[in-house]
Every structure is written in structure tokens, then in C-alpha cells.
Structure 1
Amino acid sequence: MRSTIGTSRLYGALVCGLLTAAGSGSALADGRTLTAQDYAQAERFMAYNTTPLVDHAVSTVHWLDGTHFWYVDHDASGDHYMQMDAAGGSASPLLDQAKLAAALNKAGDATAKADKLRVSDYRVAADGRAEIEVGAKHYLCDLKDAGNCTAVKEGKEPGVLSPDRKQEAFIRNWNLWVRDVATGKETQLTTDGVENFGYATDNAGWKHTDNAILEWSPDSKQIATFQQDQRQDGDMYLVTTRAGHPELQSWKYPLPGDQHVSMIERVIVDVPMHKLVRLKMPADQHRSSLCDDVSCGEDGGWDDVKWATDGKTLAFVSTSRDHKHETFRNADAKTGAVRTVFHEDVPTYYESGNGMVNWRYLPDTHEAIWFSERNNWGNLYLYDLSNGQLKHAITNGEGNVTEVLKVDAKTRTVWFRGVGRTPGVNPYYEQFWKVSLDGGEPVLLTPEPADHRITLSDDGKYFVDSYSTTTTAPVTVLRDAGDGHTVATVAKADVSRLVATGWQPPEPFTVKARDGKTELYGLMFKPTHFDPQKKYPVVDYIYPGPQTGSVFTFGFLPSHGDNQSLAELGFVVVAINGMGTPWRSKAFHDEWFGQMGDNTLPDQVTAIKQLGQRYPWIDLDRVGIWGHSGGGNATADAMFTYTDFFKVGWAESGNHDNRIYEDDWAEKWQGLLTVNKDGTTSYDNQANQLIAKNLKGKLMLVHGSIDDNVPPYSTLLVVNALIKANKDFDMLFLPNEHHGYADDTPYVTRRRWDYFVHNLAGDTPPKEYALKPWPWR
């Protein structure tokens, strides 16, 4: 059920697989017969077709230094790698793309083309060559004269680069090693790591990789990491499908209620001295103040650990198993002595931000910035490290600080992203602010009522701001971080080529929540050939949270999954952020804590009914629902709970009972598992198999056979209950697919379209329409 904060772990936009179908026919008959041309028209609005038609939509930039950044500008002729001088506001080519493509071809990358280089990282190395990342490969390129690139030789194990980029740390045989980047020389740092009690191991149950989880000190001489004890954890098992003996996959995967879950022993390694210091404290829970793993962000790292600039101390936050108790501590890097500074205890669960751990360590002034929702909103507070006492609130009032991007201790300034802090503005629009550590009124640096994507320069003097709304394409500008004034325009998106295809943006709307008072926000997708005189069946795309919502963003996207494509086949598609999802108040987010069977469904139903009353062309007698992962769980729940409202459901990879899902995620949102004297449990309210007997409508269950995020047994529990209740249902079981369906995605997407066309609209789909293979292949 997770998403990276960002990204999705369980949050499944569009993914899918292979087959089995039980049951056929539909109660709806005599509808239209759709053709391959109808499906081709729907496919035109998939992201792989719409995104290339948006010109000059610059949303991601990369700062090279305090006054220069690079970015990719796209138009009909391809991608253009540009750099801008922030001081002068002038742009110029970053490199000779033809020369680089030729050099990459010569180095073995036959796919490199001048108009589509796929460069994800670029910097100038110490010797003047360009250090370039293309896909998953790294190159050193001398682009002068003829130009040449050399692939950087990397070890088998993925490494974490030191700040000076001279070393990388990695795991081998459960121990921590370092590799000299220039020479390739490898040095073992620890020797007592053993199987399932290794150093820096990246195993959160749902995730198990060879990445090393650690934090280098700023001077590249020390590493903060842990030895993770999983020796008594329970195992998860999967088997592959193939001729002959299947391959057994097994790994540690603790579950809610398990007596033994993963624990970490915190350590600091002196790299030059090859010396390990174990912090003088009991083992900690493998938990985070932000997400359901110790490493939350896409860039890895250990989010709840922060070094002092001089490397003498570090601060860290310990999170209790149930996420209700947070402890701020700091440690002496040489002796391992640990001091507890302060605590925060909450009745439900604590989070340190949206998308980023927002606490900061300021050892030079013996202070810490702490994030808390104690006043029902996410605000920042300043603590005195010498006595652990609160000094004052840095921000206050309604609205949330979502991400602290920079703290300048000298000027005592904090720059942060925030939502809901400007009255009258969509509460999901992120804006950018600065505020003094000493308090006072925050200064809004991005006044436009839009969603702002911010990239701040390392020195905090400038930031690039790409702002947009659901219906207006991005404008990207360079701004002064002191007062927000515009220094230069980077790009203005042009969607004329996209609009020429008949594309239209989704329509934002608001409705009232279950309580009749709280405003809910959503998006509506209508066919481009919409006829207000007709009646349209409704499909509700759902992701219930609690860590994100159904709407991907309220900023601009040319495609929101396949919502518009599905609408094109004769539906009104809606996505609604119900209560219990983040970004709003703490009370809003806590709405159904401990009652995960809620799944925002009371809000989905009341919202769709309000839309039906508002618009006569919405057919409330034909409502369908679908979702992936948490959305698959919610879809089945909807079909079992609101049996007379939802007629058709498509449930992908659902975590239908969190008692067989990874411990950390479930125990955060549902609480610790308790068993009553009569054998019932505190988790019964969220177990779909217990209510499967209520099914009336058409339900498709989909799961990958080797899903190592949400194991397929979760869906099989529901299947078993449906069989025992003598209920008809359909199923797609995807051999050798994980939580995302990879190459099977086009097939299952088409099958999903067919399912709603046939069973909800009463129409006949074209036979075996072939969607284009996804471009990530």
C-alpha cells in the first residue's frame, strides 16, 4: 500500500498482467459495438502519446553550482540540454548533443541519440571531464575535439558515494566495505556481519535490495549506519512459474503482531581508521518518523540521521513500533555516548512532514528544528538542545509545512514548501516560503495561486519555480530566494500540439465530505466527444491512502494514468481525495485511524451522489470502481460494503488483509494487533475476506504471482472466501509478475477497459485490441 513519498510503492497508477476469467456475459445488453478505432482514440491520451506533445514544460532542473543550473527543454524536434547563468539570466547549450551521442555510441550505448540522450545526471569532474549518468550507467566524457566517453567501472554491489565523491560504501557478505572510485581498491570495514544480522542492509519486508543504507559525514571520513537484526523475523515465500521445478524465493518479512520484528543497532564507522563505534543504547525499531522504512526518499539515505558539520556529533530520531512515540537524541561520534534530548508522544501516529523528514540539527547554536502537528497543522518549532525545552514556534496557524528545503544558520532563515497556508487557494497547491528561525510572519515567495515545484540552489540565493494548475500548463522561472522576484523566465510550456489532438484537461471540482461540512477536492474526466444529453456511467479511480490520495497532483499533467483514456470509451471518470488522506489537517488525516476498512468509501459514495445531483448526465445506477494496491483493497471493500451502489469493480494487487502485509506500514495506520478473548482481533474491520460473502456485482481480482510487495496470498484469501460463499467473480493471475506488471501492463490495461465497457456500459469491446508496449521497456 505504499507510495514513496513521493513515488509509489503500493500506489499503482497503471500496471498489470495476464489472465484467468471465470464467468462471462453481462446483465447489460444491446449496447454499442466499439471498434479498434474507438480504442485507438482512447490510447491517444495515454501518457506515452501525450507527454511528447507538450513543449517547453521544464519541471526538473539540476544546479551545477550557486549560479548555474542545467535542464532539459523539449519541443517537436526533440530534447535540448540547456544551462542557465542565474546571475545574468541567460541560457545556452549545456553540451554538444551530437558529439555526446556519438561518444556514447562508441562507448557501447547503441540507443543514444542526439535528440533523446536520457541523461539523468551531469557534473564536471575534478579533471575537467563531464561525469554523466545515462540510464543506470555512469560515464566520464571528454567532449572536446572528437569527444570520447569511458564507462566508469563499477563493482557488482551498488555503492553510496561519499560527499567528496572519492569513495563509495557498499555491502558484501553482510559487511560494510568501501571502494576507492579512482583505483577500484576495496577495503572491508566490518567483519562481524552475518546472515540476517548485517550492516546497512536494505530490507523493509516489502523492499529487499542490495543497496546500503547509511549517512556519510560531511568530511567523508565517517559513516553512520546500523547492524540490522532479522534473525528471528518470519519469512515470506514465493515461487516462480516455469516448466520443471519452480524457484523458491524467500526473505525476511515481519508481519503485524509478530513477536519478533526487525531491530537495528546504531553504529559509526571511522573509515580511515577502520574502527567501529557502537552507540551506547538498546537496539532501536526499524522505523522512520516519515514513512514505513528507514530510507524514505528516492535518493536513498537514512532520513532520520543528521551529522554536525564538523563530524563530531550526529543527531537522530528513534520511532516506536506503533509510531506514537518519537525520541530526539544526539551521539558523540568518537565515544558512542548517547543523550536523549526530548520526546513527542501522539495518540495516533507521528509524521515528520509530507515527502521529507523536516527536523534539522543545528549544533553550532545548540538548537534543533522540530516538526509537529500538535496544533492540528504541520508546523515548525525551535528546541534548545542543552535542556530539551521548547524555545518557541517558528511557524504557526493553519496550513502545513510540507518540506524544509534549506536552513541558513548564519542568517537564521528557513525555506520551506507549504500547503493550505494561503486563504482561498486550493489546499493541495504547494507554495514556497521563507521564515526566520526566531519566528515572525513567513514570507510567501511564490504568490501565484498554482502548484509550485521548487529547486533551490545549494547556497540558497536562487530557486527555479515551475508552477501550473490542472488546467494551465507550467511556467518555469528563476527567482531570487530573498524576496521571490523573478530574475528570468526559463520556459513557458506550449500545449498547442497536444490540444490539436483533441486533448482536454480534467475538470477540478469540490464536494462535501461524509460530515456534510468538510470540502473534498477531485478531478473529473469526460469524453472529448461528450454529449450532455446522454447518460454516462461513472468509474471511480480510487487510492484511499492513508499516505497519499486518488489525485496524482493538482498541478499540470498531460495524462493522469489512463483516466482520460477510459473516459474516452464512454465514461465519466472521477478521482477524489477522501478524508483520511494527507496534506490537509491532522484531524482530516486521522479520520479513520485504526479503521482501515473505511478506505474513504463513505466520502467516495457521498461525493459521487452529489455529482449525480449536480449533473443530470451522470448515471448513478451505473457506478464502477477500480484501483491498484491500496486501491485494489478499497475496490473489493466497496463491492462488498456498498453492494447496491457499486456495480462493477476491478481490484489490482490489493492488500486485502494487512495481517499478511509488512508490519511497519500496517502497524502505523491500523495500530498494533490485539486479539480479543473471543478470537476476534483489532484488524478484523479491515479484512476483506470477512465480508466477501456480500458481493452482488461484477468483480475482477488481479494479482502478480511473485508480488514481493503485497504477496498474492492477500488476494487468495478473498478468492477462498468467495468460493466458500458460492459467489461468481473473475480473476487475472499474472505469472512471474511483481507488484507492478511490467510487460503485462498493456494487456491488463486493455482487459480493464474491456471489463468496464462490457459490464458497466453494456457495450461490446473490440476483440483483443493491442495497446502499445509501455516505453519504459
Structure 2
Amino acid sequence: MRSTIGMSRLYGALLCGLLAASSAGSAMAEGRTLTAQDYAQAERFMMYNTAPLVDHAVRTVHWMDGTHFWYVDHDAGGDHYLQMDATNGSASPLFDHVKLAGALTKAGDKTVKADKLGITDFRVAADGRDEIEAAGKKYLCNLQGAGECAPVKEGKEPGVLSPDRKQEAFIRNWNLWVRDVATGKETQLTTDGVENFGYATDNAGWKHTDNAILEWSPDSKQIATFQQDQRRDGDMYLVTTKVGHPELQAWKYPLPGDANITMIERVVIDVPAHKVVRLNMPADQHRSTLCDDVSCGDNGGWDDVKWAPDGKTLAFVSTSRDHKHETFRIADTKTGAVRTVFHEDVPTYYESGNGAVNWRYLPGTHEAIWFSERNDWGNLYLYDLGNGQLKHAITSGDGNVTEVLKVDAATRTVWFRGVGRTAGVNPYYQQFWKVSLDGGEPVLLTPEPADHEITMSDDGKYFVDSYSTTTTPPVTVLRDANDGHIIATVAKADIKRLLATGWQPPVPFTVKARDGKTDLYGLMFKPTHFDPQKKYPIVDYIYPGPQTGSVETFGFTPSHYDNQSLAELGFIVVAIDGMGTPWRSKSFHDTWYGNMGDNTLPDQVTAIKQLAQRYPWIDLDRVGIWGHSGGGDATADAMFRYPDFFKVGWSESGNHDNRDYEDDWAEKWQGLLVTNKDGSTNYDSQANQLIAKNLKGKLMLVHGSIDDNVPPYNTLLVVDALIKANKDFDMLFLPNQHHAYGPDTPYITRRRWDYFVHNLAGDTPPQEYELKPWPWR
């Protein structure tokens, strides 16, 4: 009898289980079945569809001289290239569009349309012809005459033009050469460059190109550069996927804790004399005061090197391996003698600004402008180069100087962009100021409470200001640099065509950080068919920093990545700049220094909880998260540290353990690697594979097989740990793709949408919807 009762209970339990399974299946079946039309509606809000619908959004201009600049004004009729006279605000066509289109078509191998010229650079050459760059190719054109264009013959190596545009320097076989632009004649400047100990080489591990890193002197007769020693650096290896033997890719890629990392020996080259002067100092670290490379931009410049106007001296800053110690030095370019002027030492890491190196060399008055966050905010200070002593603060108080745009030594005036310096204004809005080198109250030149993009004339008399907010499109005006008054309106953006598609801007919001006190700023994206009576799953788009945040911009853009498109499929999507990201105070930025496993996640969690409390239509039981690179690391981290909160994660190309990422990045933000007696390290807390066993939800891991920025072994460490922990997960490995996914981007985007639609919303995506190729990739 007892046996019969036991069997009855067993059958009862099985029946309950079957009913529960049936109920769960029914709940899933009751979810929406999305159609191709639903995905097409979401795709309407991708950047390649929204950007062409914004008319007269002039964001940047190109100054040709002190009183003229050119710009592109787009509308429904195409792109219009205009020039403006700053003295009177009058605009006129830059050239005959039809004539130029015909000339470029004749000079090239494909038809060029007059309304889509694709010009990225334009200037008047010394002989009166026009230098034009279009579709990555350079031309010399006679637009005033017959309207003919001829391709500019370039060497196979990318060059760096001299200020007089008569020469360009380039690397060949680890040595530095110059090429005469007019004749093409090439001259070798150095002869002792050898493999992995070459001149001006651009190799930071995560970045390795053929560009030359150097700074020409103002008179185009000298070059400041370095001989870069990587002979003892460790190698990175990747292999391509192909039929037959794979191709091995190998290059120098130092890692945190390596005994030998990249070093540079600084040199000055007298170009006419072909003479190399090696500076009299030990080899320097391959570091920058601003970024994780000696060259922070894409133009081959060397940011922490400044020439004197007469070329007799050179100022530069040496940065220690851990970014805690900065040394300002001056070199005699003829003898190589080096003098140390002053130091700055910090407990975490030093940065010289946001977006640009902010220190300046003023040899005429034996002074230097120095940027420091010593009072918890980024301010400018004036130093005496004779004795290395601080003279006084140029700016002070709360708020940051983000970027020095111009210094006029004659009038002793500095123009700079800044944030957080105006009470009541969004602390991420950049405004424009001027201040005297001798101190005093800075003058605000752009009073509108908006984000301002500034382009100054070379002589510092004028500037073009394009200002906007997340919800209001840009207005672009020409202003006087002395007092900021508006001289002329360049353009006012018109979004009528964009609004006709049903487009809506994201919703800005503020919440409190983990400390319950600090304001955090973010953006929320809702479906255009939003129904407040429904419950929506929420997806957190994350980039944790530390060098930037999740919010792309607090100025206007018609698309913030694909956030609105994803929202359109039935989600609330948020982007939140948590503590540990830049633009705020130094202490805000330092929140998780030495603990990169934090990844702003305490702020993400508390922010989403506050939003759910504020808005009942947010479903706190269905929270997803996704990101790329640092965001991919943070996504997996979130799924492992908060497994009961985040239910679905999509992790792309994450640097899951920074011991497997290039040395400078982690050694700046996590500190130098320290191994304890028991074998543990100060890097263990940021290693995702060590906590992968905590996974409960659905996780997709994505990586390119030849990612030379974040090597794919970062993701494979997590994969190995998940397998050993017997965890279910998903993975997409992209053959022959780098850190950006190139032609695979539309596929990965669609698969990401599918993943959240199916696993977070409980809906069914359409079968294999095909997104358009992304035109800018």
C-alpha cells in the first residue's frame, strides 16, 4: 500500500510538472511574433537612415585663412559645399559642383555625382590650384580654369606633411625618409633603424600601423621623433581562417607585468643636413599624459611634444609606466642637452585633459601652461620655466577645463572648452571660455545652456559655434572671439523630414549614484508606439569607461548607436554614465581606480531600480545588458556579479582579463601588476573567468577571430571557465574579423536584436531578417 501511495505521489508530481511546463510553453507561445515589418520599422532609426534626414546640421567647419572657412550644408537636394567670409557673414558656393563632379569622374574610375561629392579636405595650393581629398584619394584640380583634376601620386607609405606642405616624412624599412611633394624625390634621413628598433614607428600593441609618429618644426626644417625599442617585447599571435594553411599574424604586444615593455629614445633630425641629434637622457616610457599611446589622435601627431617658434628648443613631458609621475623637460635641439623643469606626482593616474593634451610651451616669456586636477577639478596653472616654480593658477574652482583650443602669447589670452563651470547647466555640456594668463575671472563666450562644438580661426579672432542638446538640433553661428557676440548665423538644423518618420528624441534623466548623493546622468529610449499600460523589459547599454561613458553625447545626434532601434522592438533602453567615468571631478573619475571589476555596475543597478520605482511600466524582473569592448567586459561581469538582477547579456569583444590586454591600458587604470606570496594578484578582482561560475541567465559571447585590439583569448578564458563550471552559454566567433566587425556588423546587430527579443521579451523574432550593410564601415 505504501508503495502504491508513493507511485501516486510520483505520478502526481510528474503531472504537475507537465502542467507547469505546458503553462510555461503557453506563456512563451503567447508572446508576440514579430514580423519583418517590425524589424524594418526598427531599422528606420539606424544612423544610416536618420542622418540623411537632418537638414542644415553644420557641426564643424574648416578654416582656410583668418577670415574664410568652408563647410558642408546638407539638405534633401544633397550636399552643398559653401564658404563664408567671416568679416561680413556672407556665404557663397565653394566651387562649381557640376564642374568638379565631372573633373573627378574623368580623373577617377567611377562616376561622381554633383550632390554627393564626398569631399573630406579642400585647400588652395601655393600655385593656385585646389588640393582636394575625396573618397580617400587626393587630387590637384584647376577649378578656375578648364575644370580638370589629376590624381596626386603618393608613395605606398603614409606620410606626414611638413607645415609648408613641401615635404612629407614617412617610414621605410624601420628608417625615416622624406619625400619632396612636387617632384617625388625621396631622401633617407636615418640609417641605423632595424627591425623592432625603428624610427617613428606606430606600434602600441593594440594599435600597429605604418603611420609615422613625429612633429615637424614650424619652419619645416627639423623633425622631433623617436627610435622605438621593442626588441625584447613579448609577441601576440593570431591566425586567419582559410582553406589550406592559415596565415600567422605576429607583432609586438606587451602585457601588464611584463619585465620588458616598449621604450623610446627621443631624437631631433635636421632635415636639410640629414643629421640625427639624440637627446641626452635615458630611454623613456612609451606613454602619454592623455591616452594609452604616445600618439592619441589619428593624424600621426606626437601630442606631448611642443616646438618653440624658432625651432631652437623643444618641450616635452615624460610619463612614468604607471602614469603617476610626469616630468616637464626642455631640450636644446642642436646639442641634445635636456633640462628637467618640474614634476607632478599623483596617487592614482595623471591626465592632461579630455580629448586633447592641454599643456603649452611659451618660450618667449619663459613660461608653461600646465593642466592639473590637484584641487579635484581640471584647471590650468602657469609655471616659470626658469626656476620650475608655480607662478599662479590661471583658472580655479569647480568644473573642468577640458580642452585648450588657442593661446595668444601676445595678448596673454587662453581660449578653452570647459564643463561643469556654470551652475544649473548639465555638467556634460561643453561651453567656451577665455581667460587671461595672468588670472582673473574667465569670460563665458557661449552662454546658451547646450553642448557647444567650437572651431576657431587660426588668428584667434573668430570662432564657429555649433550648439545643441539631446532634444534640440544644432544651431551653428559665427562669433567674435573677444566677447562671443554673434556675427552671423551659419545654419539652423531642420528635422522636419526626420520627425515625419515618427522619430523621437531620447529622454534625459538623472538618478542618484551608489552613494545616494551624487547625480548620475543618462538617456532613456522608448518605443515610438509606447503604451504606459504595458510592462516593458529594460536593456542597459553599457560602456563603463574609464576613458569615456555609455552616453555617446549630450548634444544632438539622430541616432545613438542602435539604442532607439532596439527600443522599437519592445524594450526600454537606457545608457547611464556611472561613477568612474570622466568629465566630472577627479574623485568621481577615481571611484574604482585599482578595481576595474567594478565596471560602474553598482551604479547601473541602483539607477535601473530607481527608474523602475519612478516608472511602473519598467519590468524589473526582465533586465538585460549589452556592450562592446569594455562594455563587453562589463556585460559578462554583470551577469556573473549580479546573476539575479541581469537576466540576459550580450557581450562583444570584451577585455575580460586585462592581464591579457595591452600593458598601458591596465597599468594606468588598475595599477602595476603585483603578485602576492600565495600566487594571488591585485588583478584577480577584475578577471571575469574567476567568477564565471556564478552565471544563471542567458549570455552570448561574441569576438572577432583576428581582433588585434582585444585579442580573442580574453573571451576564450571565460569560455573555458564556463565549460569547467558546466554552464550553458552561447557564443559567436567571427572568422577574420577585427575589433570592429566590418561586413559582419549588420548580421551581429540583427542577431543581438533576436537574442533580446527571444530571451528577454519572450517574443519570436522574424526568420533571418537582413539589415542593410553599414555604409561607414
Superposition TM-score, scaled by structure 2 size: 0.96
CA distance in 2, matches of 1:140, 1:601: 53
- The answer to whether the aligner puts 1:771 opposite 2:771 as a matched pair is yes
CA distance in 2, matches of 1:129, 1:27: 70
- The answer to whether the aligner puts 1:750 opposite 2:750 as a matched pair is yes
Deviation at 1:145, TM superposition (A): 4.0
Deviation at 1:596, TM superposition (A): 0.1
- Provide closer, same or farther for how the CA distance between residues 47 and 26 of structure 1 changes in structure 2, counting only shifts above 3 A: farther
SS of equivalent to 2:211: coil
- The answer to whether the aligner puts 1:634 opposite 2:630 as a matched pair is no
CA distance in 1, matches of 2:776, 2:403: 29
User: In the alignment, what sits opposite 1:376?
Assistant: 376
- The answer to whether the aligner puts 1:537 opposite 2:537 as a matched pair is yes
- 1:357-389 CA distances to partner (integer Å, 9 max, x unpaired)? 000000000000000000000000000000000
Deviation at 1:302, TM superposition (A): 0.2
User: In the alignment, what sits opposite 2:393?
Assistant: 393
- The answer to whether the aligner puts 1:716 opposite 2:716 as a matched pair is yes
User: In the alignment, what sits opposite 1:655?
Assistant: 655
User: In the alignment, what sits opposite 1:459?
Assistant: 459
CA distance in 2, matches of 1:269, 1:662: 30
CA distance in 2, matches of 1:717, 1:405: 44
- Provide closer, same or farther for how the CA distance between residues 560 and 111 of structure 1 changes in structure 2, counting only shifts above 3 A: farther
- Provide closer, same or farther for how the CA distance between residues 361 and 242 of structure 1 changes in structure 2, counting only shifts above 3 A: same
AA matched with 2:768:
E
Matches within 5 A, 1:39-118: 39-118=39-118
- Provide closer, same or farther for how the CA distance between residues 28 and 589 of structure 1 changes in structure 2, counting only shifts above 3 A: farther
SS of equivalent to 2:327: strand
CA distance in 2, matches of 1:54, 1:83: 20
The answer to which of 108-117 and 406-415 deviates more is 108-117
* Higher relative contact order, chain-length normalized (CA < 8 Å, sep 6+): 1
Deviation at 1:135, TM superposition (A): 2.5
Deviation at 1:213, TM superposition (A): 0.1
Matches within 5 A, 1:359-508: 359-508=359-508
CA distance in 2, matches of 1:520, 1:435: 30
Deviation at 1:273, TM superposition (A): 0.3
CA distance in 2, matches of 1:98, 1:534: 54
Deviation at 1:110, TM superposition (A): 1.2
User: In the alignment, what sits opposite 1:702?
Assistant: 702
AA matched with 2:298:
E
- 1:110-163 CA distances to partner (integer Å, 9 max, x unpaired)? 152110111111000011100011122110000134311011100010000000
CA distance in 2, matches of 1:111, 1:335: 55
- Provide closer, same or farther for how the CA distance between residues 211 and 26 of structure 1 changes in structure 2, counting only shifts above 3 A: farther
CA distance in 1, matches of 2:776, 2:641: 37
- 1:646-692 CA distances to partner (integer Å, 9 max, x unpaired)? 00000000000000100001100000000001100010010000000
AA matched with 2:357:
V
CA distance in 1, matches of 2:120, 2:394: 36
AA matched with 1:135:
A
SS of equivalent to 1:708: coil
CA distance in 2, matches of 1:752, 1:360: 46
CA distance in 1, matches of 2:269, 2:596: 41
Matches within 5 A, 1:133-212: 133-212=133-212
AA matched with 1:373:
E
Maintained 8 Å contact 1:354/1:403: yes
Matches within 5 A, 1:242-641: 242-641=242-641
- The answer to whether the aligner puts 1:725 opposite 2:725 as a matched pair is yes
SS of equivalent to 2:757: helix
Maintained 8 Å contact 1:28/1:761: no
- The answer to whether the aligner puts 1:691 opposite 2:699 as a matched pair is no
CA distance in 2, matches of 1:402, 1:680: 38
Deviation at 1:29, TM superposition (A): 4.8
CA distance in 1, matches of 2:522, 2:300: 32
User: In the alignment, what sits opposite 1:740?
Assistant: 740
CA distance in 2, matches of 1:153, 1:145: 22
AA matched with 2:610:
Q
CA distance in 1, matches of 2:547, 2:218: 32
- Provide closer, same or farther for how the CA distance between residues 109 and 384 of structure 1 changes in structure 2, counting only shifts above 3 A: farther
- 1:572-609 CA distances to partner (integer Å, 9 max, x unpaired)? 00000000000000000000000000000000000000
Deviation at 1:60, TM superposition (A): 1.2
User: In the alignment, what sits opposite 2:681?
Assistant: 681
Deviation at 1:193, TM superposition (A): 0.3
AA matched with 2:683:
Y
Maintained 8 Å contact 1:544/1:599: yes
Maintained 8 Å contact 1:26/1:762: no
CA distance in 1, matches of 2:111, 2:391: 57
Maintained 8 Å contact 1:657/1:687: yes
AA matched with 1:620:
L
SS of equivalent to 2:566: helix
SS of equivalent to 1:593: coil
User: In the alignment, what sits opposite 1:219?
Assistant: 219
CA distance in 2, matches of 1:386, 1:28: 75
- Provide closer, same or farther for how the CA distance between residues 660 and 413 of structure 1 changes in structure 2, counting only shifts above 3 A: same
Structure 2 alignment gaps of length 5 or more? 1-24
AA matched with 1:161:
L
Maintained 8 Å contact 1:140/1:152: yes
Greater C-alpha radius of gyration: 2
Deviation at 1:462, TM superposition (A): 0.2
Moved over 3 A (4+): 25-29
- 1:241-280 CA distances to partner (integer Å, 9 max, x unpaired)? 0000000000000000000000000000000000000000
CA distance in 1, matches of 2:561, 2:527: 15
- 1:525-549 CA distances to partner (integer Å, 9 max, x unpaired)? 0000000000000000000000000
User: In the alignment, what sits opposite 1:4?
Assistant: none
CA distance in 2, matches of 1:277, 1:298: 27
CA distance in 2, matches of 1:111, 1:432: 42
SS of equivalent to 1:38: helix
User: In the alignment, what sits opposite 1:672?
Assistant: 672
AA matched with 2:120:
S
AA matched with 1:129:
R
AA matched with 2:716:
L
Deviation at 1:645, TM superposition (A): 0.4
Counting aligned pairs with the same residue, the percent is 87
The answer to which of 294-303 and 60-69 deviates more is 294-303
AA matched with 1:566:
L
CA distance in 2, matches of 1:726, 1:378: 48
Structure 1 alignment gaps of length 5 or more? 1-24
The answer to which of 340-349 and 92-101 deviates more is 92-101
CA distance in 2, matches of 1:27, 1:669: 46
Deviation at 1:108, TM superposition (A): 1.1
- 1:177-205 CA distances to partner (integer Å, 9 max, x unpaired)? 00000000000000000000000000000
Deviation at 1:776, TM superposition (A): 2.3
SS of equivalent to 1:149: strand
CA distance in 1, matches of 2:145, 2:34: 57
- Provide closer, same or farther for how the CA distance between residues 509 and 499 of structure 1 changes in structure 2, counting only shifts above 3 A: same
Deviation at 1:330, TM superposition (A): 0.3
SS of equivalent to 1:613: helix
Maintained 8 Å contact 1:237/1:248: yes
Superposition TM-score, scaled by structure 1 size: 0.96
Maintained 8 Å contact 1:322/1:349: yes
- 1:304-363 CA distances to partner (integer Å, 9 max, x unpaired)? 000000000010000000000000000000000000000000000000000000000000
CA distance in 1, matches of 2:265, 2:715: 35
Deviation at 1:26, TM superposition (A): 12
